[in-house]
């Protein structure tokens, strides 16, 4: 298979298997923009690279995830992920700060609080006074959760919805919870009031693969799976596992024009607003039989980096393959190309010699008997 990438975007083509063992063609591309409140977003020359592995804030697997590998087979909705830090207005220290994010239909407000610990009061365990801060990272390492160690036994009990957080303790006795750190990010409408409280982990990053409830979607890997399904996915695997954002950060696929509002997340700018651009990536596929189809990639991940004033759109297209898999695919073309050059590839005739670079060439009428240009999913080879 030949890959012609005229999009100037990082792009990868690979295959993946669904739980039935059916092979799928998977195409992933990334487009990065610089944003400001004064003008429309501008695409940068070097987009963020394709992520081949998961990226963490600290040690992999035991710290908060920052970004997940781009090679999810499919997503039913668009994940919105924000690598965020709260910034106090004018750089003046504050003890707590309201921050918020809006992307299209998704809107989330968080209360960011300075460092605190549980301490023994006269009658009960209470929170210490928050320490002032000018900036505070917003990730699940600073949200409610954790795996506290219990006394001299050294036993740990993990909060499955966020094992890397802080503030969770299954045994709220004062001698155990004393000086235990509290979360820095909270739901402003459901605050943590005592060691007995249970709060929803509140952040803006991705959910870990092994965290609850996402892990439930991964399916059951038991003796029956080992005997009848291995190495395929289990029968109860659900595609929702591929969604890396919490449900309230999942929106419809990006169409362009969705408003973005960032409050207290951009250094020196308390409020930043802009609109997402219209997705523009075009993909064409040519089978070895010279049947051609046009794929319709969707933007199923928006990754915002307020510190750098950047955001990235992740394009994804999947196509089920026939029994011969990639051997049936002759060429994949990404981005605008010369119409005459493309038609020469489809018809198997001599091309115009431009290597596909003359994308402003006028479109010619298809010749009688020319292979039809089909939408994704209609071009399966027998």
Owner of token pair 């039913």: 76
Across 88-116, average pLDDT: 97
Across 286-312, average pLDDT: 96
pLDDT exceeds cutoff 80 at 153: no
Torsion angle defined by CA atoms of residues 203, 206, 212 and 217, in that order, rounded to the nearest 10 degrees: 150
Cα separation, 150 vs 157, whole angstroms: 8
pLDDT of res. 197: 80
Percent of the chain at pLDDT exceeding 90: 76
- pLDDT by residue (tens digit) across 52-64? 999 999 999 899 9
| Strand pairing report for 250-251 and 155-156 | unpaired
Across 96-108, average pLDDT: 97
Mean pLDDT score of the chain = 89
Across 108-128, average pLDDT: 88
pLDDT of res. 176: 62
pLDDT exceeds cutoff 70 at 209: yes
| Closest-CA residue to 137 (of 205, 189, 77, 201) | 205
Across 215-240, average pLDDT: 96
Tokens representing 119? 């301490």
Percent of the chain at pLDDT exceeding 70: 90
- pLDDT by residue (tens digit) across 29-82? 999 999 998 899 999 999 999 999 999 999 998 999 999 999 999 999 999 999
pLDDT exceeds cutoff 90 at 119: no
- pLDDT by residue (tens digit) across 142-151? 999 998 765 5
Owner of token pair 């407000």: 109
pLDDT exceeds cutoff 50 at 1: yes
């Amino acid at each position: 298979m030949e890959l012609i990438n005229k999009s100037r975007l990082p792009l990868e083509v690979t295959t993946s298997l669904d739980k039935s063992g059916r092979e799928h063609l998977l195409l992933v591309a990334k487009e990065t923009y610089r944003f400001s409140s004064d003008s429309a977003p501008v695409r940068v020359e070097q987009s963020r690279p394709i992520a081949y592995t998961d990226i963490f804030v600290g040690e992999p697997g035991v710290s908060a995830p920052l970004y997940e590998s781009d090679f999810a087979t499919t997503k039913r909705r668009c994940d919105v992920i924000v690598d965020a830090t709260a910034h106090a207005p004018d750089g003046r220290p504050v003890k707590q700060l309201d921050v918020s994010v809006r992307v299209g239909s998704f809107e989330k407000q968080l209360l960011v609080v300075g460092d605190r610990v549980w301490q023994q009061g006269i009658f009960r365990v209470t929170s210490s006074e928050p320490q002032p801060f000018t900036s505070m990272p917003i990730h699940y390492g600073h949200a409610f959760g954790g795996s506290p160690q219990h006394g001299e036994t050294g036993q740990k009990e993990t909060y499955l919805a966020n094992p890397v957080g802080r503030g969770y303790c299954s045994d709220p006795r004062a001698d155990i919870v004393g000086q235990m750190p509290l979360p820095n990010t909270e739901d402003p409408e459901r605050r943590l009031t005592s060691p007995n409280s249970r709060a929803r982990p509140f952040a803006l990053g991705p959910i870990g693969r092994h965290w609850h409830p996402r892990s439930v979607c991964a399916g059951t890997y038991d003796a029956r799976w080992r005997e009848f399904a291995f190495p395929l996915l289990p029968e109860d695997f659900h595609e929702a596992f591929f969604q890396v954002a919490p449900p309230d950060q999942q929106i419809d696929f990006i169409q362009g024009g969705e408003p973005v509002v960032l409050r207290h997340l951009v250094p020196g700018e308390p409020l930043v607003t802009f609109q997402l651009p219209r997705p523009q990536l075009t993909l064409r596929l040519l089978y070895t039989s010279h049947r051609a189809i046009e794929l319709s990639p969707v933007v199923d991940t928006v990754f915002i980096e307020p510190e750098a004033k950047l955001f990235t759109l992740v394009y994804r297209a999947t196509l089920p393959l026939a029994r011969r898999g990639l051997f049936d695919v002759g060429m994949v073309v990404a981005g605008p190309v010369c119409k005459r050059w493309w038609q020469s590839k489809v018809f198997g005739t001599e091309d115009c010699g431009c290597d596909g670079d003359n994308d402003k060439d006028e479109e010619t009428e298809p010749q009688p008997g020319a292979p039809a240009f089909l939408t994704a999913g209609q071009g399966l080879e027998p």
